Chain A
Amino acid sequence: MLYLQLFLSFFKIGLFGFGGGLAILSLIQHEVEANAWMSQQEFVDIVAISQVTPGPIGINCATYVGYTATGSVWGSLLATFAIILPSLIIMLAICRLYFFLSTRFRSNPYFQNTLRMLRFAVIGLIAAAALLLITPDSFIDWKSWLFFAVVFLLTILPELTKGIKNKGVQQLLSSLSHPIMLIILAGIAGYVVYN
């Protein structure tokens, strides 16, 4: 039963996961919570680990959740297979229809409008994922909010300071805004502050 549920959940995530990594995160989060496979706090930890390890976030999350939910390698395999399966079906159909799609569908208003509206909806999905992760378990005191604010600022800083022409400053800011760099820095800061 657990394995069937795992398969169905990740198949659904693969089927409705439009808009790439961060948007898929919100679907995984919902399934994980609805099935009580792990706490929100554990989920944040997985997202952090996914950010600093190679490979797509969707695959990383499926593998990890599959293992924790079942305690077995088979759970990992099943969840990873299930999240890929809809892609296999849909992308193969697209490959077969490639010439039709690349000529006719480009100008089709149904296709164009749906893509545009999905792009807006996906922004809402990602916002909801962030909001749902603001829990008392993850934000334990004012220092947590300081961490949040600093990382948020450093991420958007290269955009805000486009006017500065100095190459060195630009390079420094863009390397500081890299997710892996920020997670490592936050980890070190966490160790210093809380240990």
Chain B
Amino acid sequence: MFFQLFYVFLKIGTFTLGGGYAMLPLIQREVVDRKQWLDEEEFLNMIALAQAAPGIIAVNSAIFIGWRCGGWRGMMGAVLGAVIPSFLIILAIAMLFQDYKDQPAVEAVFKGVRPAVVALIAAPLLKMAHTAKITWLTALIPIAAALLIWLAGLSPVWVIFITIAATLLYTYLKERRPLR
């Protein structure tokens, strides 16, 4: 089971560009449709939990599927398979890039790429706000978070922490019901 899960996640890790969300349909095809290790409903529950938990979604999914299919060994196999391809590729690039980054041609390419990267980070915001069903009132949360991080230099960790603490307190005051 170690090697089977290792192989499946190695394949998914090597051939998916674009990270976590791009991996989910591929994981589904391998694990649900082909190998039938999980049924559709369990897979959907898995995605919901992997996204709700902190951390890298692809890694969270690998842990869950590995564990459900093959216990400790399955989990180790799945996680290593998901991580090793990107680790090796990026390590090789990190080593080589040090020598080439000051070349004028490389620098010119990156001069074009840098503003594009910022646009790629900013553009999905509109759709995310729409999907989260944001209102004028709830829009204050991301606006305050962005300004505190951008202008006041607050750590995003604090923003997450405060959000969780404030929501728990608010829910407690509203529901008057203990957390369990």
Interface of A toward B, CB cutoff 8 Å: 12, 14-22, 24-27, 30, 34, 41, 44-45, 47-60, 63-64, 67-68, 73, 76, 80, 83-84, 86-88, 90-92, 94-95, 98, 101-102, 109-110, 113-134, 138-140, 144-145, 147-149, 151-152, 155-156, 159, 178-180, 182-183, 185-191, 193-195
Residues of A within 8 A of B134 (CB): 120, 123
**Is B144 within 8 A of A124, CB to CB?**
yes
**Is B49 within 8 A of A101, CB to CB?**
yes
Provide the bound-state CA to CA distance between A97 and B49, in Å.
Answer: 11
Provide the bound-state CA to CA distance between A87 and B79, in Å.
Answer: 11
**Is B123 within 8 A of A156, CB to CB?**
yes
Distance of B145 from chain A, by nearest CB (Å): 3
Residues of A within 8 A of B116 (CB): 48, 147-148, 151, 182-183, 185-186
Provide the bound-state CA to CA distance between A60 and B59, in Å.
Answer: 12
Distance of B135 from chain A, by nearest CB (Å): 10
Per-position 1/0 for B123-166, Cβ under 8 A of A: 11111110010100011011111110110000111011101101
Within 8 A of A (CB), among B91-131: 91, 93-95, 97-98, 101, 104-105, 107-129
Distance of B48 from chain A, by nearest CB (Å): 9
Residues of B within 8 A of A25 (CB): 121
Residues of B within 8 A of A117 (CB): 141, 163-164, 166-167
Provide the bound-state CA to CA distance between A156 and B155, in Å.
Answer: 29
Q: Which 9 A-B pairs have the closest CB atoms?
A: A190-B112, A55-B86, A124-B145, A124-B142, A87-B55, A186-B116, A128-B149, A155-B123, A195-B108
Provide the bound-state CA to CA distance between A174 and B67, in Å.
Answer: 36
Asked, given contacts A45-B101, A101-B49, A186-B113, whether A127 binds B142 with beta carbons under 8 Å apart, the answer is yes
Interface of B toward A, CB cutoff 8 Å: 13-21, 23, 45, 49-60, 63-64, 67-68, 75, 79, 82-83, 85-87, 89-91, 93-95, 97-98, 101, 104-105, 107-129, 132, 134, 138-139, 141-147, 149-150, 155-157, 159-161, 163-164, 166-168, 170-172, 174-175, 177, 179
Contact of A94 among B53, B90, B142 (CB under 8 A): B53
**Is B55 within 8 A of A17, CB to CB?**
yes
Asked, given contacts A86-B55, A131-B150, whether A53 binds B90 with beta carbons under 8 Å apart, the answer is yes
Provide the bound-state CA to CA distance between A27 and B127, in Å.
Answer: 21
Residues of B within 8 A of A55 (CB): 13, 16, 19, 58, 82-83, 85-87, 89-90
- Further contacts, 6 of them, CB under 8 A, given A55-B13, A90-B53, A128-B150: A49-B90, A88-B79, A109-B175, A110-B167, A117-B167, A124-B143
Provide the bound-state CA to CA distance between A22 and B117, in Å.
Answer: 11
Residues of B within 8 A of A102 (CB): 45, 49
**Is A48 within 8 A of B117, CB to CB?**
yes
**Is A123 within 8 A of B159, CB to CB?**
no
Provide the bound-state CA to CA distance between A56 and B67, in Å.
Answer: 20
Distance of A133 from chain B, by nearest CB (Å): 5
30 A-B pairs in the complex with CB atoms less than 8 angstroms apart? A12-B157, A53-B90, A54-B13, A56-B58, A59-B86, A59-B87, A59-B90, A80-B83, A84-B56, A87-B63, A95-B68, A113-B170, A118-B164, A118-B167, A119-B132, A120-B138, A120-B141, A121-B160, A122-B128, A123-B125, A127-B150, A128-B156, A133-B121, A139-B118, A147-B115, A152-B119, A156-B123, A186-B112, A190-B112, A195-B104
